[in-house]
């Protein structure tokens, strides 16, 4: 026989049992910018070389063949699926350049790379073809899949380019059961390509950047870039790298590798998506890894503790599942001006969100538009207070007092100085319980 159960208004039930309330998670309002934007450079078999391109999660599922040259489920797209586990929008960049395009008598692949060698052209006689006026049905195949067909075509010059090939206008069309394209070669990945990627990244917005390379010079380049962007350009994001002791709140260092991958940084895309997509009022502590790799979690308790002290983002084994040990970054050298709280990524999400949101409000509403007088500064003060009240509403900060925000004229007539205080909230991660036995 069942005992107590149901919902509760107060903790005053008599019967033993489980009393459970279902409450909607508080979501960020319109005044807090949306998270979930990431960026990741990859070596790819298809696409424009050294070019930034943006993909939405829904478009990846629907158009992966057109975008990346492979079906959504293909092994070659594992890193892409990993980052989209938590990210909603990703700016990708094809690192490998200097490749060759596959081609045949009739067409040339639209992009360089080995994927072009999977393309073939099938030409059949059109049903309305007549003597002296031959017409053809021209199909483009990727493997066994027909990706384009153009019917009743009289010459190659009349063919329209599709997502995979560009036609050779001077080619003479002739019947073929399938003429493959060949000669497609992937280009090489160089240090200069990574620099081109970082240059391109300056013009797009994102919450997290990832790099799977385990080359020390490349990782140093990304660390330096992240510091410059955060400290000098005011672009607040976190950079996810493999095993990089940067001692900087802007860099997350993934310590684990994958047992089923030869790439040391195989888990970087998943963590990058997580860093981008985790809500401002949430922590990734104890989050289950739901990706496709077999995470190496062979660490002792002492090694896990040492990893936390070193600022490593680690996975550990809990009830047979790989879970995030602590949602932390590489900052370890606490000072009076910057406490160890800055090593907590939930804290950094609140601080970065605040910096990005207030900068966006200023740029869109006040910069060059509103007079720097008392009324103008009060208006800006109101917007900041409204933003912070929204953060407190969703429990990202606590104890907010509007009196802690001051907006004053700066040292010049064009400058505005803001003095602000916020107290980020962190998720519970440790329980200290004392039981007195009577």
Find the CATH number of the domain harbouring 284. Answer: 3.30.1490.450
Residues 86 and 220 reside in one and the same domain = yes
Residues 234 and 255 reside in one and the same domain = yes
Count of the separate structural domains present in the chain = 2
pLDDT at 263: 96
DSSP secondary structure string, 232-291? TS----EEEEES-----TTEEEE---BTT-S-TTTTHHHHHHHHHHS-TT---TTPBP-S
Residue 386 lies in a domain: no
Does position 17 have pLDDT exceeding 60, yes or no? Answer: no
pLDDT at 30: 46
Residues 215 and 317 reside in one and the same domain = yes
pLDDT at 130: 72
Residue 384 lies in a domain: no
Closest CA to 279 of 58, 85, 34: 34
Residue 31 lies in a domain: no
Residue 364 lies in a domain: no
Using alpha carbons only, how large is the chain's radius of gyration in Å?
28
Higher pLDDT, 227 or 1: 227
Residues 111 and 88 reside in one and the same domain = no
pLDDT at 58: 95
Q: Which of 276, 302, 324 is the last residue of a domain?
A: 324
Residues 139 and 235 reside in one and the same domain = no
Q: What is the domain-level CATH number for residue 111? A: 2.60.40.4290
- pLDDT grade, residue 13 (50/70/90)? low
pLDDT at 14: 55
Residues 280 and 315 reside in one and the same domain = yes
Residues 193 and 246 reside in one and the same domain = yes
Say how far apart CA 134 and CA 151 lie, in whole Å: 12
Q: Which of 116, 151, 180 is the last residue of a domain?
A: 180
Residue 351 lies in a domain: no
Say how far apart CA 317 and CA 295 lie, in whole Å: 9
**What average pLDDT does range 377-384 have in this prediction?**
95
Label the pairing between strands 52-56 and 37-42: unpaired
pLDDT at 1: 44
Residue 348 lies in a domain: no
Residues 90 and 212 reside in one and the same domain = yes
Residues 216 and 308 reside in one and the same domain = yes
Does position 18 have pLDDT exceeding 80, yes or no? Answer: no
Q: What is the pTM of this model?
A: 0.88
Say how far apart CA 85 and CA 291 lie, in whole Å: 7
pLDDT at 33: 82
Residue 412 lies in a domain: no
Residues 51 and 89 reside in one and the same domain = yes
* Segment among 9-13, 132-136, 324-328, 388-392 with least mean pLDDT: 9-13
* Segment among 87-96, 122-131, 234-243, 286-295 with least mean pLDDT: 122-131
Q: Is residue 36 a contact partner of residue 363, using CB atoms and an 8 Å limit?
A: no
Domain residue limits at 122: 107-180
Label the pairing between strands 315-318 and 321-324: antiparallel
Closest CA to 142 of 122, 165, 119: 119
Q: How many CB atoms lie within 10 A of CB 354?
A: 22
Q: Is residue 86 a contact partner of residue 270, using CB atoms and an 8 Å limit?
A: yes
pLDDT at 145: 96
Residue pLDDT, tens place only, 128-164: 877 668 899 999 999 999 999 999 999 999 999 999 9
Residue 369 lies in a domain: no
**What average pLDDT does range 160-182 have in this prediction?**
96
Does position 29 have pLDDT exceeding 90, yes or no? Answer: no
Q: Which of 304, 324, 344 is the last residue of a domain?
A: 324
**What percent of the chain clears pLDDT 90, i.e. is strictly above it?**
86
Higher pLDDT, 151 or 27: 151
**What average pLDDT does range 36-53 have in this prediction?**
96
Residues 123 and 214 reside in one and the same domain = no
Residue pLDDT, tens place only, 324-362: 999 999 999 999 889 999 999 999 999 999 999 999 999
Residues 176 and 205 reside in one and the same domain = no
Question: Please, what is the average pLDDT of the chain?
Answer: 92
Residue pLDDT, tens place only, 230-273: 999 999 999 999 999 999 999 999 999 999 999 999 999 999 99
pLDDT at 430: 80
Label the pairing between strands 107-109 and 165-167: antiparallel
**What average pLDDT does range 201-215 have in this prediction?**
97
């Amino acid at each position: 026989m069942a005992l107590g159960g149901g919902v509760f208004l107060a903790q005053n039930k008599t019967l033993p049992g489980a009393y459970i309330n279902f409450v909607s998670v508080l979501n960020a309002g319109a005044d807090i910018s949306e998270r979930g934007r990431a960026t990741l450079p990859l070596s790819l078999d298809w696409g424009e070389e050294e070019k930034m391109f943006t993909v939405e999660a829904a478009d990846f599922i629907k158009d992966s063949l057109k975008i990346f040259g492979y079906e959504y489920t293909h092994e070659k797209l594992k890193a892409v699926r990993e980052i989209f586990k938590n990210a909603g929008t990703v700016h990708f960049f094809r690192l490998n350049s200097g490749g060759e395009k596959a081609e045949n008598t009739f067409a040339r692949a639209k992009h360089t790379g080995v994927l072009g060698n999977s393309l073939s052209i099938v030409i059949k006689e059109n049903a309305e073809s007549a003597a002296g006026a031959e017409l053809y049905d021209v199909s483009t195949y990727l493997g066994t899949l027909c990706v384009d067909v153009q019917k009743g075509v009289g010459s190659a010059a009349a063919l329209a380019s599709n997502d995979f090939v560009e036609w050779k206008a001077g080619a003479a069309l002739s019947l073929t059961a399938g003429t493959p394209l060949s000669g497609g070669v992937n280009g090489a990945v160089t240090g200069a390509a990574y620099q081109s990627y970082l240059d391109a990244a300056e013009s797009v917005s994102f919450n997290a950047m990832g790099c799977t390379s385990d080359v020390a010079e490349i990782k140093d380049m990304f660390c330096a870039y992240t510091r410059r962007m955060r400290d000098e350009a005011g672009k607040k994001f976190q950079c996810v790298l493999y095993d990089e002791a940067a001692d900087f709140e802007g860099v997350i260092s993934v310590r684990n590798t994958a047992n089923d991958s030869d790439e040391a940084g195989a888990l970087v895309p998943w963590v990058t998506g997580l860093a981008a997509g985790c809500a401002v009022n949430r922590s990734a502590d104890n989050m289950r890894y739901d990706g496709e790799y077999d995470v190496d979690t062979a660490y002792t308790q002492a090694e896990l503790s040492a990893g936390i002290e070193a600022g490593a983002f680690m996975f550990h084994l809990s009830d047979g599942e790989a879970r995030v040990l602590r949602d932390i970054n590489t900052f370890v050298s606490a000072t009076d001006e910057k406490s160890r709280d800055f090593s907590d990524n939930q804290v950094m999400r609140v601080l970065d969100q605040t910096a990005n949101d207030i900068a966006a409000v200023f740029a869109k509403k006040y910069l060059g538009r509103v007079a720097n007088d008392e009324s103008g500064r009060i208006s800006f003060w109101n917007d900041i207070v409204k933003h912070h009240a929204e953060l407190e509403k969703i429990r990202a900060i606590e104890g907010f007092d509007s009196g802690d925000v001051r907006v004053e004229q700066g040292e010049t007539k064009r400058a505005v100085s803001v003095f602000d205080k916020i107290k980020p909230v962190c998720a519970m991660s440790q329980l200290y319980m004392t039981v007195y036995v009577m």
